[in-house]
A and B are shown apart, each in its own frame.
Chain A
Amino acid sequence: MTGVINDTNPVDVAVIGGGINGLVAAALLARTGRSVVLLEAATQTGGMAPTAAQLACGLPTSLIRRLKLKKHGLSLLGSHVGRVALDPDGRHIPLGGKGRAARRATREAIFHWSSRDAEAWDSITASLDRLRGALMPWVVGDAPHLHDLDRRQRVAWALQLFRLRRQGRAALQEVLQLLPSNVADFLDDRLETDILKGALALEATRSSRHGPRAPGSMLHWQWERALEQAGSAGTVQVAGGAKGLIAALRDAAMAAGADIRCSAPVTQLLIEDQTVLGVVLEHGEEIRARCVVSAIDPRSTYLDLVGARHLDAGLVNNLRHQRPGGALGRITLTLGRRPTIARLTDEMWARRLMLAPSVPEVERASNAAKYDDLPDHPVAEITVPSVLDRNGLADGRELLTALVPFLPQHPRQGWSKARDLLAARVVKQLSAYAPDLPDLIEEISILTPEDMDPAGVGLSSWHHLDLAADQLMGFRPVAELGGHDRPIKGLILAGAGSHPGGGLNGRAAMRAVRDVLAGAGGSGHERS
């Protein structure tokens, strides 16, 4: 290999990928005094985040504090943004939010539909919180191995089992029964209000490949809830959208001394004796590094950058057959003014509006993608970020974003034809709630799964990999890479495809940084 050899002065850490996890890893590592270079292929940092997200769910408070993100310009608007189960006739049900008043408002709204449901609500949320609680230690902790547990992990597992058992035999049994079950049955067994069940089913499955009737959908739902709520600022809107968060992180990373290089695609890792020695950039430049943190997806990292020749055939096969999360689209409408949705209060407009009439409608919407079709009646999660964040928007105008789950990665007619069809269908669904909406549209911007993920490796879902039993914890991304005994020494995964999963929270990077600091990143050259 020819090129600029830069081995006289290796950096401590090379971070690949400038999405949220890459920036978090770079910032945290640079703060420890390590020399860090972050390499981003695109012309600017941000990865999927700037285009894809409006809300930050579960941004850890410890991260905000440690990186002094507020000093670096992070501004959080609204706290604990809840949801609303939308009803075309205006009998909306607010869900979530913080505090007793929010819970009372939910119960009261449900009561207008069904006194039975209102009565059952507290016990249902208690069950769900037990499930989430059961997963929480694994979400915030290290990727637990399920095999060859070392003593510390054995103690952690025993402790967690004991914690659950202490709440009673029935409580533990309920957790073990519900975790592998499906969302549709859970809801149908306990509730009768369609819009309430529809909203919950959409919340549960929006980032998944599977609909609410799929076994395992409860695990997906509760893992995501645990991710969003573990020691975090809750679900918040970031001023400037996810771009605002990215800007603050970049600022923090640079202030800590990280060298951030955009338009610097990594094409290969330098590997000798199964140990990573550095990275090779597109133009042949080599950067020697004691440790490489990859915040891009695990499959590209290992199959493209490391290369199959360094890997065991079983690992290669497992990486090839990882299952991505659901393919998502985002449709953003610029509206002349706020549309009319019957009896939707200002407070509700700032929430996530769940456009999902019932569980069967969510399930039906999930059917089409199995055959590479668009759903006839898409369901969607709507946010109107301009309610809290005008962000230079001309007066009166509003931005409305519909997050549309269950899309095919490659629709049979191709996205060039399917994109407008999808937008038309989403607008049609929306106008059942806001009849004046079609007339208010000034601009439509459509982000298809292909736009977000041109390579089609499943990155349009913020988890990169589906949250399923065989792709979580020590099995994430695959068992061979989930433990400390990695096939390539000095290469650490920090992306959404590694434990504990994705979202605008930086948790995967925080975990990777712990690994690096614990010495797992120790490569050939030890740091003096």
Chain B
Amino acid sequence: MERFDAIIIGAGHNGLTAAAYLARAGLRVVVLEKNPYLGGAASSREIEPGFIYSSCSYALSLLRPEIIRDLDLARHGLVTIPFGGSLTFLPDGRHLASSSHAHIMHREIARYSPRDADAYPRFARDMKEQADLIRPLMMQPPPDPASLSLTRLGEGTSHLRRFAGTSSAALADTVRFWTLSAKDLLDRYFESDVVKAHLAASAVIGTGLGPMSPGSAYIMLHHRAGGIDGARGAWGYVRGGMGSVSRALAACVIEEGGDIRLESPVDEVKASSGKTTGVVLADGSEISAGIVLSGLELKQSILSLLDWKVLPQGFTERVARFKTRGSSAKLNIALNGLPEFAGIESDCTALEGDIRLCGTIADMERAYDDWKERVMPRDPYIEMVLPSRLDPTLAPPGKHVASVFVQYVPDGLIDGSWTDAKRAQLQEVVLDKIERHAPGFRKLVRHVETRTPADLEAEIGMTQGNIFHGELTLDQLLFNRPLPELSRYRTPVRGYYLCGSSMHPGGGVMGAPGAVAAAQVLRDAGVRPRRRA
């Protein structure tokens, strides 16, 4: 039987990050991936000849700069391209083109409300301050308020002190960012429904909350907690598609002596007398190791991979209660030319970023209400990017790829699960909506790949297609993520760890769960992580 120091299940970006850190510390690691390609939800593949789709995730911001630096990802081929801006369209044709240049942004917002234009810098500053509070939490295990250990209590107190800020009013502000609805938070700053819709968009992406649900302001904040090329809160593309993130991580794993095996689905994590001994693969072969990490979503990691008999009473029930409702679909489209949007110059830099086809906050909330009833979306929120505008490696000259994110798509429909016919129906709804804003779009379409939440679960293993591996609400964040007893990355089976996005600090192509889990593994094993010279 083959033997390794550590086995990592899943070659998603978190699994690869964990593997790279462990390999760098001198452990013999193997990464086992069920799919024939790398990266899980951070992957790019040539599905239509000549066109590279970033099939799931499509933009980068959250990947921790510490990881890029530690693992030398730039040397391993990671090149980021910041968005030029972003563009929001309302159904009535009104639009807002955002820009990172303050004066352009001011002028653009002032078209709808001079008052809002003045309020925007205040909003951006408050957002940045709150994101700055979160950042230091991201590369370490969450505080543990239920611990009696003095070290833990000390950690917790120092976090509390930081969050307590300078005054009671400042603390109240922080509480608002963590608990308010996006609408209530935005109403504190803005009056124009265009401006509010533009900003609320990042509050609905991937979540099972509406823009009027308390807690959705945090989703907005979560999306701002990253940055690109040192620009905090900014988003961008990855040259070659999101798969380049995974490829760079994989190159690092291999350079450090690690092994990555594709098409190697793991069936079971073996445990004897409360300790893991390795894994069994689908073909029956076994690999042994005293340390196993799972980058899969919580329920897959525990309920599918472990023998329930080894788990404490009531534990599986608690795991099953983890909220993973999926709400997003994805269309990847090969285009024979560049689409044009009504009322927008084709060289507008905002077209280089995300193009949001949305309604007002109330419209988004209605779509959320429909989603709660599990019906086919009638008018979904759409976020489209055309990465080939800035990255010529993705499509043949003159041709383009579009990545279309669709929000408030249920993981199953009221009248049954997703079928090919229903998937096709969803595709039509989405293409129709794009056509309304970009007349002639349909004629450019050469190939479309549509992924429902059910497809995301089947292929990528995200339970119910939840892109965050579990809802980002306070009952599932920090020390509550994924469950209080699992928040230190360990499971009831000794040596079996979780390193996916179900763990603190949560979803997005962030790498932090993988890195923090690896650090935990090394601490437990008494191995000192290698410092970079």
Contact = CB atoms under 8 A, between A and B. Distances in A.
Interface in A131-177: 145-148, 161, 165, 169-170, 172-174, 176-177
Interface string A230-266: 0000000000000000000000000000000000000
B215 A215 contact: yes
A147 B213 contact: no
A480 B169 contact: yes
B168 A483 contact: yes
B172 interface: yes
Contact of A178 (B147, B213, B475, B479): B475
A180 B168 contact: no
B484 A180 contact: no
A371 B362 CA distance: 7
B475 A177 contact: yes
A178 B475 CA distance: 7
B179 A216 contact: yes
B180 A147 contact: no
Interface in A469-484: 469-470, 474-475, 478-480, 482-483
A351 interface: no
Contact of B372 (A172, A182, A315, A363): A363
A468 B484 contact: no
Nearest to B212: A370
A473 to B, nearest CB: 10
B473 interface: yes
A317 interface: yes
A97 B176 CA distance: 37
Interface string B176-192: 10111000100110000
Contacts of B164: 146-147
B485 interface: yes
Given A176-B145, A470-B172, A147 B165 contact: yes
B168 to A, nearest CB: 4
B368 to A, nearest CB: 9
B321 interface: yes
A470 B369 CA distance: 25
Contacts of B474: 180-181, 215
A371 B209 CA distance: 17
A346 interface: no
Contacts of A314: 169
Contact of B214 (A161, A178, A214): A214
A147 B475 contact: no
Q: How many residues of A sit at the interface, in one of the four size bands?
A: 35 or more
B414 to A, nearest CB: 11
A478 B188 CA distance: 14
B202 to A, nearest CB: 18
Contact of A180 (B148, B366, B473): B473
A145 B164 CA distance: 11
Q: How many residues of B sit at the interface, in one of the four size bands?
A: 35 or more
Contacts of A321: 184, 187-188
A148 to B, nearest CB: 7
B146 A475 contact: no
A173 B176 contact: no
Interface string B154-171: 000000000011011111
Interface string A191-226: 000000000000000000010011110000000000
B342 interface: no
Nearest to A149: B164
A65 to B, nearest CB: 35
Contacts of A169: 146-147
A181 B147 CA distance: 21
Nearest to B487: A173
Nearest to B485: A173
A273 interface: no
A479 B473 CA distance: 24
A176 B480 contact: yes
A216 B169 contact: no
A220 to B, nearest CB: 10
Contacts of A176: 145-146, 479-480, 484
Interface in A401-457: none
A285 interface: no
B175 interface: yes
Scoring A145, A172, A321, A474 by chain B CB atoms within 10 A of each residue's CB, the highest score goes to: A321
A145 B168 contact: yes
A515 interface: no
A367 interface: yes
A294 to B, nearest CB: 20
Nearest to B478: A176
Contact of B168 (A146, A173, A213, A468): A146
Contacts of B214: 210, 214-216, 468
A323 interface: yes
B122 to A, nearest CB: 10
Interface in A356-374: 360, 363, 367, 370-371
A115 interface: no
A117 interface: no
B365 interface: yes
16 contacts: A146-B168, A146-B171, A165-B146, A165-B148, A176-B480, A180-B179, A180-B475, A185-B321, A314-B169, A371-B362, A469-B175, A469-B178, A470-B175, A479-B172, A482-B168, A483-B168
Given A177-B475, A182-B475, 17 more contacts: A146-B164, A146-B171, A147-B168, A165-B146, A177-B483, A177-B484, A181-B474, A185-B323, A213-B213, A215-B214, A215-B475, A216-B214, A363-B372, A469-B179, A470-B172, A478-B169, A482-B168
Shortest 4 CB-CB contacts between residues of A and residues of B: A180-B474, A173-B484, A181-B475, A479-B172
